[in-house]
Chain A
Amino acid sequence: MEKEEIYREKLEEWKKIYSKSISRIPERENTKTLSGIDLKTFYSPLDIQNFDYFEKLGYPGMYPYTRGIHPTMYRSRYWTFREFSGFGDAIETNRRLKFLIEHGETGLSIAFDYPTLLGLDSDNPLSKGEFGKAGVAINTLEDMQLMFDGISMKDISTSMTINGPAAILWALYIVAAESQGAKRSELMGTIQNDILKEYMAQKSFIFPPEQSLKLVIDTIEFGSREMPMWNPISISGYHIREAGATAVQEAAFTISNGLTYVEESIKRGLDVDDFAYRLSFFFDSHIDFFEEIAKFRAARRVWAKEMKRRFNPKKERSLWMRFHTQTAGVSLSAQQPENNIIRTALEALAAVLGGTQSLHTNSMDEAWALPSEKAVMIALRTQQIIAEESGVANVVDPLGGSYYIEWLTDRMEEDIYRYLDKIESLGGVIAGLRKGFFQREIAESAYKFQKDLEENRRVFVGVNRYKIDEKLEIPILKVPDELEERHLARLKRFKENRDISKMHESLNRIKKYADSDNLMRYIIDAVRAGATLGEITDSLKEVWGEYIEPVIW
């Protein structure tokens, strides 16, 4: 560094002023980041010595993409405004999707109910009490068609949060879109399909890890051949973070999972450039503003570096970490819920300053129920205000070059690498899962987070400070019982009106080829033959069995 001596001399001078200042007014005790990284009073050129601009940042759209994957970012196109939606049955959800499109949403995102997430039809005894509560119930091709009735599936991108049975929901989507006259090659969207993080955090797994992973690679392979505009996977840190992980753990575990999918796809015989450009990511944006921005930047850089180092792709796009962001559900309070609007706005702003491609903003009432129409409208407007009023979208990576942001980005990169090494030494992600490594790491961080709150080392406004006696004054969404009756009647009718023997033949082919062939076309055939989500899942359970989680806490 030039003139380093001067910086050091001046720093000595500053230390004198500093001592005097803290003798009068000491600094607050807890100035760590949310994830526990110790912070100094301020950052200066001394903290980012030997900072090579092109090695660390580059220009936007250039390796290592720290500043963003596109040269113009939001100057050309805003991120996609994509609100996670779904409740009750397909018809009710169709109404909500149209409401959001009408008010300026630019991409769809489907939340499924718990039975659907676990591959159960709504008439399964295990589905009792769960219908339509945490999302929409989709069992049949007819359900999928109804959910998109009047919405042109070739013109809007749709993200589906589905994992265990992702291949089946994707098949339902493809066949429904084709029935609208769309070509599968022009469909845009995402299936979450990140099964590894299910075992770590979200827990909507069905089959054992090895077989699940086989099915995921089937979808990646199928996508690379037939669906060039579709993201067959969204490698997700969100649920890992929400389950309690720190920012670094979120990024590191997600990147490890991503690299595992790449390795497995290459083992299948795919060329890295055939599919890597369609891998997408999904992160949390928590309440520590700068830590989140640094996390997004560091994760993008580490992904590009590791993809290049390990797989040396020819296409630039194979190095891109494209990601969706959701603001942090765990940061919402049930108390004084209107305050959640402010939290969400800050978290959304961090995601934008971190260069997200797509964003979901939580609604203020989500510590109580699924969002009401009023609440989701405010959440959507929050994005529109950030994009179209605040001016933050006018310059790419506006915080690039900030001493603090660059120091923190570097620090997170180092910490991410420490975890990557650790996971490798455990024998990789699946070995780590079997050993309970990730589960323990996450549980430990979650416990520490709670302790910090309980012992008032961390402030949660309205929860452990500034509490009031209050009467809840926001509307709460209820899923009407009639929707279940309507759905079950439809399911019954659907099952009565199909060629049973043809349907069974299609399921037999799924069972026959479960281990030996790519299952996507057999699943698509089964959907065409009228097989339901539950029937297809059951046929795979017959061959693969089910995963029972070891209890680690």
Chain B
Amino acid sequence: MRKIRILIAKPGLDGHDRGAKVLARALMEEGFEVIYTGIHQTAEDIVRTAIEEDVDVIGLSILSGAHMYHFTRVLELMKKNGLNDVLLIGGGIVPNDDREKLRDMGVAEIFMPGTPINEISEFIRKNIKRPS
């Protein structure tokens, strides 16, 4: 059986990469295939990598407050490139009303600081759009 492939990405200028790195490693140890982009990625970079790596999930980590713009751009480019079966999730410093807006726009979930990693991995397994 093919392992679920996850892209963990840091959009924009934000340098806070602690959460992204910890999550990438923990998901790998839970049996996922994980690709981590590093920091300072544009939406174009992220979607291109997602296509090249044929991932099932994109996880955006953002703590800089610029989440509305970057999530929207990634969603737009995912649609444009037909990545309808790729699950988009996120995490970081995101106020509640923005979380709701992003969920309405098509982000499957935004995880708050303090979320246990197994909650994230269970969410991915349950909500994955592609058959694995």
Binding site for B on A (CB under 8 A): 114-115, 117-118, 120, 126-130, 133-134, 202-204, 242-244, 330, 332-335, 367-370, 443, 446-447, 450, 453-454, 460, 463-464, 472, 476, 478-479, 549, 551, 553
Contacts and interface: CB of A to CB of B under 8 A. Distances in A.
A120 B13 CA distance: 10
Given A368-B93, A369-B93, A450-B22, A134 B116 contact: no
Contacts of B20: 553
Nearest to B73: A129
B24 A130 contact: no
Given A114-B64, A553-B24, A335 B114 contact: yes
Contact of B15 (A204, A476, A551): A204
Interface in B101-115: 112-114
A251 B42 CA distance: 34
A370 B114 contact: no
Q: How large is the interface on B (under 10, 10 to 19, 20 to 34, 35 or more residues)?
A: 35 or more
Contacts of A553: 17, 20-21, 24-25, 36
A270 to B, nearest CB: 31
A134 B66 CA distance: 8
Contacts of A117: 13
Contacts of B51: none
Contacts of B12: 114, 129-130
5 contacts: A453-B116, A454-B117, A460-B114, A476-B97, A549-B38
Interface string B31-43: 0000011111010
* Most chain A beta carbons < 10 A, residue from B18, B36, B96: B18
A450 B26 contact: yes
A333 B112 CA distance: 10
B64 A472 contact: no
Contacts of A447: 21-22, 25-26
A134 B18 contact: no
A133 B65 contact: yes
Contacts of B64: 114, 130, 133-134
A204 B22 CA distance: 20
A115 B14 CA distance: 9
A551 B38 contact: yes
A446 B24 CA distance: 12
A446 B17 CA distance: 11
Which 10 A-B residue pairings sit nearest by Cβ, starting from the closest? A129-B69, A203-B15, A133-B65, A114-B13, A551-B38, A553-B21, A463-B114, A129-B66, A130-B66, A334-B113
A307 B126 CA distance: 57
Contacts of A335: 112, 114
A478 to B, nearest CB: 8
A410 B69 CA distance: 49
B118 interface: yes
B39 A369 contact: no
Nearest to B14: A114
A202 B37 CA distance: 17
A242 B13 CA distance: 18
A367 B95 CA distance: 9
A446 B20 CA distance: 11
B45 to A, nearest CB: 12
Given A129-B12, A476-B95, A334 B18 contact: no
B114 A446 contact: no
A549 B68 CA distance: 25
A367 B92 CA distance: 9
Contacts of B26: 447, 450, 454
Select the residue from A332, A454, A551 with max chain B CB neighbours within 10 A: A551
Given A204-B15, A335-B114, A472-B96, A551 B37 contact: yes
Given A368-B93, A446-B22, A447-B25, A549 B39 contact: yes
Contacts of B40: 549
